[in-house]
Amino acid sequence: MDYNEIGLKVGLEIHQQLNTERKLFCHCPTELTNEVKGEVERILRATLSELGEIDRAALLEMRKGKKFIYQYNNSSCLVELDEEPPHMPSEEALKIALQIAMLLNMKTVDVAYVMRKIVIDGSNPSGFQRTIFLAYDGYVETEDGKVRIESLCLEEDAARKVEERGDKVVYNLDRLGIPLVEISTAPDINSPKMARETAKRIGEILRMCKVKRGIGTIRQDINISIKDGARVEIKGVSELYLIEKVVEYEVLRQLNLLKIRDELKERNAEVIEEIYDVTDIFKNCNSKIIKRALKDGKVKAIVLKKFGGLVGKEIQPGRRLGTEFADRAKVIAGVSGIIHTDELPKYGITEEDVKRLREFLKVDEDDAIVLVADKEEKANKALQAVIERAKEALIGVPEETRKANEDGTTSYLRPLPGKARMYPETDIPPIFIKDIEVERPELPEEKIERFKREYMLSDELAKKMVFSYYVDLFEELCKRFKNIKPTLIAKTLEESLKEIKREGYNIENIKKQHLYSLFDALSSGKLAKEGIIEVLKGFCEMPDKDIDEILEIKGLKGLSREEVEKIVEEIINENINIIKEKKDKALGYLMGRCMAKLRGKADGKMVNEILKEKIRNIL
Amino acid sequence: MEIGDVVRIETDKGVFEGLLLPSIDENVITLKLKNGYNIGILKENIKNVRVIKKGEKPKYELPPLNIEKKHKKTVSILSTGGTVASKVDYSTGAVHPSFTADDLIRAVPEIADIANIEGRAILNILSENMKPKYWIKIAEEIKKEAKRADGIVITHGTDTMNYTAAALSFMVNADFPIILTGAQRSSDRPSSDAYLNLLSSVIAAKENIKGVFVVMHETSDDKYCLLHRGVKVRKCHSSRRDAFLSINSLPIAKIDPFSKNIIYLQEVERSEGSKKVEINTKLEEKVALIKVYPGMDGEIIRYYVDKGYKGIVLEGTGLGHAPEYVFDDIKYAIDNDVVVIMTTQTINGRVNMNVYSNGRKLLNLGVIGCEDMLPEVAYVKLMYLLANYSLEDVKKLINKNMVGEINYRSDFKAYGGNYGL
């Protein structure tokens, strides 16, 4: 596809959690926990606008009396509960954010203000999210060209939704307040591949700074538009490989919607804005769906003139225009789905049923009918939403916020948000950025070069190590255990751990102190490098045991030099004839015999040394 | 270039366009950018400034609401400068205090479903700047307002709300409820406690009770509020919404602002519906509140005596003690006809100066123990008594209950804010 021709414009918004000691506005740790120490129930109200008025829609929402329950624990305090003013922002978080800005070639503001962004869905007990605009006007280089970075904001992550309990929404406060950088690119990206490259490059740069790693710590939103299409915001693409697909599929969706629009125009199609009660038609229908709904509900219908065949038209793999209708009905009215004539007969609804329906509504074969079977009020609300969406199909692509599905397709989430209501956080004084001293971190390629130079790693291993979760630990270990080759440390961290994970070992049990004790044992000769894998497996199985216990259990207890000498001597004595026969050439053979007995218990180098010496003594 | 103008600023680090805001520092220009964020630009980095559009003065005049006065009872809300119904200017972030009944109803429309609402601002000060003369002003305004109201709600900063409540308890004798309320989270936040506090206060102000009370959150939940006796309540936390506790007493009632139910937990004086009110605003301002502590310098007591003070409230340790090395200073005060009374810095519990010899010696010097009265209440009461009674009567009345400030019975449950409700 020629993406230039269709005028593809893509912008990314990347959210990355920072790995700080404390949260952005309090002194709680940034660790998630499932623990619940107690719950607090709250309500949120829309506040007065500049004109002293409350938004009517917000007032309506408020009158519904939605209540929120907040679970607190050791990762949250009075600040998260909105019972104590925010503390001064974490200096560590500010520094990391400024380092990221530096690597993204951004300019920083002179004086930064903490702002409150109003959010009353309950994800913030205060009713707002605190955010700081720190840097602007940067860029990253990708294989496909330069992409401008428009802004970098440092903000607090929201609370984690746990469940809905009737009309109450339950949130855990552990995640609230974890520092997050929000990086927004300009819409400079013009192909799916470039979108992926840009996200990858920004991701690599982020990993040069102190950021959190693992599931849920980085989230990508993608803004996509094509010529004649519309800006669509796609939320929550967490995997890199999905980005390309999401962009491809969204382009496909917009192109197909435009084709459908042209076809509808040509046909002179029309949306009839009336909801019909067709319950009687389905009184004796054998469809399970209909039967279940009719217990306390109705079957309602709308007519889409000249939509026949197009409602069932595929616009993304496995998704039709009808799916778009269904999405709206589900989100807005909470129904389980819709039924349209393009897919019938199906669900136990027969050709005969359809025929009677068409006769009753006096519509032709080239018209489409959409049905909803549910409680009357819900069914009406659902069909009203379908009417709105069908009318948009006549215009083209609706602007909206969508969420990414696992296969790269997307589904409707909500309308595009309006302009955020923001006002200053009066509890925190402005921040003078020049007073914060920050060191520039290395760029990925600089770090790779240094790893090759300083630690003599191969190109491949250096690249792996630089982006590894263990990169900082690697450097720490190299510094501490100078007599161990960095390559061995890197391979242990990057390869051995992955190897045993593949075998099904739970490597999450392996903590920093385990690795320290492992390399300590190697360094002092207590453990031979051949035993590394077994020790790691041991720690996975028994994380509470110390290294000596593991060596004992695994039978890896390294032998002392004297003990090794004794065993070597025994082997020499058993094979004395061979030595006499083969002279120097016997070394290789005997080494094999020795190692068969000593593998994992003694270092091969030491065995070799002892063996050589003893043979020399004999000859 | 004026506040509110849209300006274009050129600097070494780029060009910025936005709304000019009041500055926080003389070296900084503050702008609100189009994306909603505020930034500060150091003046030294500015190369050129141009005004793009002159600002428009925001208007705060809104058309009247014309709410029908359909209820039997009218509640007047008097503001002293708290933040219950202040308006935020979202472009500048400044808070504009403005206060009419309509403003209140716009902020909390539900109050109009409970009673006819009247409202006006009588003061505009932060509660930490409160002075006895403002207490007097509030008492006078209550008297005026009684003509049209069946109950009065006073919005007040929380810092010194308990002092004002105590002062009004002694100065105002009204046959209707006077409710003080406030907010720990300002009302410009969606999570403000002001909403439930105000709603509950209006509910309480409609009750057939008399006296001065404080209404605030019961717990950290937005569920219930408590009605506290004005002379038995204290702010016990610097920031939580359930900061106000009844001390040495159970709260008077629990209010459900959603169902509008009130459950009484204690006997309370009932109103006869006469709307009668008498005030006596005479106060002796030369009274000091002194905290006792290890290593304190007794000179401070002499300082007040020499300055002509008439009364000193000691906030003693434990059961009502003070170090022996200040006894001479206390004697000096009493010899100079200064009334010296004793409360306890443990806040909870009763003074009893008979248990240890230290207390007995203080009693012998003429120090008067004040039972379970809060130090802040004792301070206000002594001001009131000294202005209105003879020295002999002051000494007799100070530790006798007048308006509910002293309970002679200590309720086991009245401790720690966990009243077993």
The answer to whether residues A294 and A171 belong to one domain is: no
- A240 belongs to a structural domain: no
Domains: count for chain A: 4
The answer to whether residues A27 and A117 belong to one domain is: yes
Q: Quick one: average pLDDT of A232-237?
A: 93
- A248 belongs to a structural domain: no
- A459 belongs to a structural domain: yes
8 Å CB contact between A246 and A267: no
Exactly one of B155, B158, B164, B281 is catalytic; name it.
B158
Residues of A in contact with B98 (CB under 8 A): 52
The answer to whether residues A296 and A313 belong to one domain is: yes
Show the tokens assigned to A418. 């309006």
Q: What pLDDT sits at residue A120?
A: 80
Examine the residue annotation and report whether B83 is marked as an active-site residue of this protein: yes
Closest residue in B to A41 (Cα–Cα) = B221
Sign (positive/negative) of CA torsion B160, B163, B168, B171? negative
CA dist., res. A18 & res. A156, Å (int): 10
Residues of A in contact with B216 (CB under 8 A): none
CB contact under 8 Å between A52 and B189, yes or no, is no
CB contact under 8 Å between A111 and B188, yes or no, is no
The answer to whether residues A24 and A166 belong to one domain is: yes
Give the residue from A554, A573, A593 where a domain finishes: A554
Measure in Å the smallest separation between the Cα of B189 and chain A Cα atoms. 6
Residues of A in contact with B188 (CB under 8 A): 47-48, 423
CB contact under 8 Å between A48 and B185, yes or no, is no
In the numeric block, the tokens 């006596």 are attached to B280
Q: Quick one: average pLDDT of A279-304?
A: 92
Measure in Å the smallest separation between the Cα of A344 and chain B Cα atoms. 48
For A500, the domain range is 444-554
Top-confidence residue, A600 or B132: B132
A51 pLDDT band (50/70/90 cuts)? very low
From A74, A88, A46, select the one nearest A173 (Cα to Cα): A74
Measure in Å the smallest separation between the Cα of A34 and chain B Cα atoms. 21
- A1 belongs to a structural domain: no
Residue-wise pLDDT tens for chain B (421 aa)? 888 889 999 999 999 999 898 877 889 999 989 888 999 999 999 999 999 998 776 555 566 777 888 899 999 999 987 665 555 554 555 555 556 777 778 778 889 999 999 988 888 888 888 999 999 999 999 999 999 999 999 999 999 999 999 999 999 999 999 999 999 998 778 899 999 999 999 999 999 999 999 999 999 999 999 999 999 999 999 999 999 999 999 999 999 999 999 999 999 999 998 999 999 999 999 999 999 999 999 999 999 999 999 999 999 999 999 999 999 999 999 999 999 999 999 999 999 999 999 999 999 999 999 999 999 999 999 999 999 999 999 999 999 999 999 999 999 989 977 776 6
pTM for this predicted structure: 0.88
CB contact under 8 Å between B62 and A52, yes or no, is yes
CB contact under 8 Å between B106 and A136, yes or no, is no
Question: Exposed, middle or buried, A5 (CB in 10 Å: 0-12/13-18/19+)?
Answer: exposed
The answer to whether residues A378 and A472 belong to one domain is: no
Examine the residue annotation and report whether B343 is marked as an active-site residue of this protein: no
From B67, B176, B179, B175, select the one nearest B117 (Cα to Cα): B67
Q: What pLDDT sits at residue A50?
A: 46
Q: What pLDDT sits at residue B97?
A: 56
Residues of A in contact with B28 (CB under 8 A): 110-111, 430
CA dist., res. B367 & res. B327, Å (int): 10
DSSP one-letter string for A261-288? HHHHHHHT-EE----EE-GGGGTT---H
Tally C-beta pairs within 8 A across A and B.
Answer: 141
Residues of B in contact with A82 (CB under 8 A): 185, 189, 191
Closest residue in A to B98 (Cα–Cα) = A52
Q: Quick one: average pLDDT of A27-42?
A: 95
Question: Best mutation site among A50, A66, A433 for testing chain B: the one with the most B CBs within 10 Å?
Answer: A50
Exactly one of B73, B137, B159, B219 is catalytic; name it.
B159
Q: What residues have CB less than 8 Å from A405, skipping those under 6 apart?
A: A411
Contacts by residues A525-530 (CB-CB < 8 Å, ≥ 24 positions apart): A525/A558, A525/A603, A525/A606, A526/A551, A526/A557, A526/A558, A527/A551, A527/A556, A527/A558, A528/A556, A528/A558, A528/A599, A528/A600, A528/A601, A528/A602, A528/A603, A528/A604, A529/A488, A529/A603, A530/A599, A530/A600, A530/A604
8 Å CB contact between B271 and B210: yes
CB contact under 8 Å between A47 and B190, yes or no, is yes
Phi, psi of A576 (to 5 degrees): -55, -30
The answer to whether residues A125 and A17 belong to one domain is: yes
Exactly one of B30, B74, B80, B83 is catalytic; name it.
B83
From B285, B284, B364, select the one nearest B327 (Cα to Cα): B364
Question: Best mutation site among B30, B90, B185, B241 for testing chain A: the one with the most A CBs within 10 Å?
Answer: B90
Percent helix, strand, coil in chain A (nearest 5)? 40, 20, 35
- A122 belongs to a structural domain: yes
Out of A126, A137, A423, the one facing B191 most closely (by C-beta) is A126
| Dmax (CA) of chain A | 110
From A245, A249, A244, A246, select the one nearest A235 (Cα to Cα): A246
- ipTM given for this complex: 0.92
Out of A52, A120, A423, the one facing B93 most closely (by C-beta) is A423
CA dist., res. B88 & res. A52, Å (int): 8
Show the tokens assigned to A285. 């229908």
8 Å CB contact between A532 and A522: yes
The answer to whether residues A502 and A520 belong to one domain is: yes
Give the residue from A337, A366, A399 where a domain finishes: A399
Q: What pLDDT sits at residue A607?
A: 84
What interhelical angle do B357-365 and B327-335 show, nearest 10?
20
Out of B14, B39, B223, the one facing A113 most closely (by C-beta) is B39
CB contact under 8 Å between B13 and A85, yes or no, is no
Q: What pLDDT sits at residue B189?
A: 85
Q: What pLDDT sits at residue A525?
A: 77
Percentage of chain A modeled with pLDDT above 70: 96
Out of B45, B59, B195, the one facing A45 most closely (by C-beta) is B195
Residues of A in contact with B38 (CB under 8 A): 113, 115, 133, 424
CB contact under 8 Å between A83 and B239, yes or no, is yes
Examine the residue annotation and report whether B281 is marked as an active-site residue of this protein: no
Closest residue in A to B30 (Cα–Cα) = A111
CB contact under 8 Å between B90 and A423, yes or no, is yes
Phi, psi of B167 (to 5 degrees): -60, -45
Give the residue from A231, A250, A272 where a domain finishes: A231
Q: What pLDDT sits at residue A519?
A: 93
> Across all residues in chain A, what is the average pLDDT?
91
Tell me how many helices (H) and strands (E) chain A has. 20, 24
Residues of A in contact with B89 (CB under 8 A): 50
CA dist., res. B331 & res. B366, Å (int): 8
The answer to whether residues A336 and A192 belong to one domain is: no
Measure in Å the smallest separation between the Cα of B306 and chain A Cα atoms. 42
The answer to whether residues A52 and A153 belong to one domain is: yes
Q: Quick one: average pLDDT of A217-222?
A: 94
CB contact under 8 Å between B191 and A151, yes or no, is no
CA dist., res. A75 & res. A32, Å (int): 7
Measure in Å the smallest separation between the Cα of B38 and chain A Cα atoms. 6
Residue A530: pLDDT over 90: no
CB contact under 8 Å between B195 and A52, yes or no, is no
CB contact under 8 Å between A113 and B258, yes or no, is no
- Region for A236 from its dihedrals, namely left if φ exceeds 0, alpha if ψ lies in -120 to 50, beta otherwise: left
Least confident of A300-304, A383-387, B60-64, B79-83: B60-64
Measure in Å the smallest separation between the Cα of A438 and chain B Cα atoms. 18
The answer to whether residues A514 and A476 belong to one domain is: yes
Out of A51, A127, A419, the one facing B36 most closely (by C-beta) is A419
Greatest mean pLDDT among A212-226, A332-346, B161-175 lies in B161-175
Residues of A in contact with B39 (CB under 8 A): 109-113, 133
Residues of A in contact with B37 (CB under 8 A): 113, 115, 131, 133, 153, 422
Exactly one of B87, B210, B235, B254 is catalytic; name it.
B235
Residue A16: pLDDT over 90: yes
Residues of A in contact with B63 (CB under 8 A): none
Measure in Å the smallest separation between the Cα of B34 and chain A Cα atoms. 10
Cis peptide before B251 (omega within 30 of 0): no
CB contact under 8 Å between B35 and A133, yes or no, is yes
Q: What pLDDT sits at residue A52?
A: 46
Q: What pLDDT sits at residue B84?
A: 56
- A80 belongs to a structural domain: yes
Q: What is the CATH number of the domain that holds A360?
A: 3.30.1360.30
Q: What is the CATH number of the domain that holds A589?
A: 1.10.10
8 Å CB contact between A274 and A438: no
Examine the residue annotation and report whether B188 is marked as an active-site residue of this protein: no
- A406 belongs to a structural domain: no
Q: What pLDDT sits at residue B58?
A: 56
Q: How many CA atoms, within 13 angstroms, populate the side-chain half-sphere of residue B149?
A: 30
Residues of B in contact with A107 (CB under 8 A): 13-14
Q: What pLDDT sits at residue B4?
A: 83
Q: Which domains does chain B have, with CATH numbers?
A: 6-53 (2.30.30.520), 74-279 (3.40.50.1170), 287-397 (3.40.50.40)
Sign (positive/negative) of CA torsion A443, A447, A453, A454? positive
- A121 belongs to a structural domain: yes
The answer to whether residues A193 and A306 belong to one domain is: no
The answer to whether residues A385 and A452 belong to one domain is: no
Closest residue in B to A70 (Cα–Cα) = B221
